[in-house]
């Protein structure tokens, strides 16, 4: 009997030690700033819960579907300016011509981009930004970095943000007007993601790791134009979007 109890105690001890070993967090080499990043993500989550999500819900409530779509099309059309430039910088000259034509068509026949005529005539929307351009030029992503307000990023992504802002004409039309337009774009994008944000909440045991892994895989996927090295499992990442810096992986509230 005494030996049986000792055996039980030993077994329980082994199970406890095993549980501790399996729950121990292993430092991801891509994420040396995890402490900072988790704190900033918590800040961004709070900002989203108390500011962005209520604003997005109110926006969705007051905006008819056709008006919501027109606003999204307008900002997508402005984005095509940077897409066209980044196409050229990456050496995609044919695609640059297509995206430039798309911008011209939508800006004229599409009434300043409110109507996506380009898609109707087989000029599809492409996703190119300066972060991808830097990646094509051989610049390393660097460690994972969560930015206040912007969300998932990296040192290269910060450079991408600066380059994209320089290519966006809204940046040059006055502080108050540009701030208002950027805020409207952020709220419009957040409203578009209200119905799909449950993907992350339901799929992730660790929401932070989910966004980190999806962001890094998504950026790699985009840099390689959908054909990253085989060891990288991209999990059909063309179906995921990020709203942080680039629109940045699965749906993010940032």
Query: For the segment 221-247, what is each residue's pLDDT rounded down to a tens digit?
Result: 999 988 887 654 444 444 444 444 444
Q: What is the pTM of this model?
A: 0.79
Residues 155-159: what's their mean pLDDT? 97
Q: 202 pairs with which residues across the strands?
A: none
Q: Could you count the other beta carbons within 10 Å of the beta carbon of residue 245?
A: 24
Query: For the segment 105-125, what is each residue's pLDDT rounded down to a tens digit?
Result: 999 999 999 999 999 999 999
Q: Where exactly are the structural domains of the chain? A: 30-239
Instruction: Determine which of 4-18, 21-35, 182-196 has the lowest per-residue pLDDT on average.
Output: 4-18
Nearest-angstrom CA–CA distance, 208 and 236? 20
């Amino acid at each position: 009997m005494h030996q049986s109890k000792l055996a039980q105690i030993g077994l329980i001890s082994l199970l406890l030690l095993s549980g501790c070993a399996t729950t121990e967090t292993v430092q991801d080499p891509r994420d040396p700033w995890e402490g900072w990043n988790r704190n900033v993500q918590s800040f961004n989550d709070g900002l989203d819960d108390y500011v962005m999500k209520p604003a997005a819900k109110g926006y969705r409530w007051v905006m008819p579907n056709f008006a919501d779509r027109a606003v999204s099309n307008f900002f997508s059309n402005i984005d095509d300016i940077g897409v066209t430039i980044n196409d050229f910088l990456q050496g995609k000259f044919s695609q640059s011509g297509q995206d430039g034509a798309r911008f011209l068509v939508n800006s004229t026949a599409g009434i300043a981009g409110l109507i996506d005529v380009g898609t109707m005539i087989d000029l599809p929307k492409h996703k190119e930004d300066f972060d991808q351009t830097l990646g094509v030029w051989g610049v390393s992503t660097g460690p994972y970095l969560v930015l206040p307000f912007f969300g998932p990023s990296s040192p290269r992504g910060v450079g991408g943000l600066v380059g994209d802002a320089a290519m966006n004409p809204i940046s040059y039309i006055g502080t108050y007007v540009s701030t208002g337009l950027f805020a409207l774009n952020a709220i419009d994008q957040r409203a578009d993601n209200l119905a799909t944000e449950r993907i992350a909440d339901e799929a992730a045991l660790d929401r932070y790791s989910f966004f980190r892994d999806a962001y890094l895989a998504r950026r790699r996927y985009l840099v390689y134009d959908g054909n990253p090295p085989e060891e990288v499992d991209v999990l059909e990442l063309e179906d995921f979007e990020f709203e942080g810096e680039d629109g940045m992986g699965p749906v993010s509230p940032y």
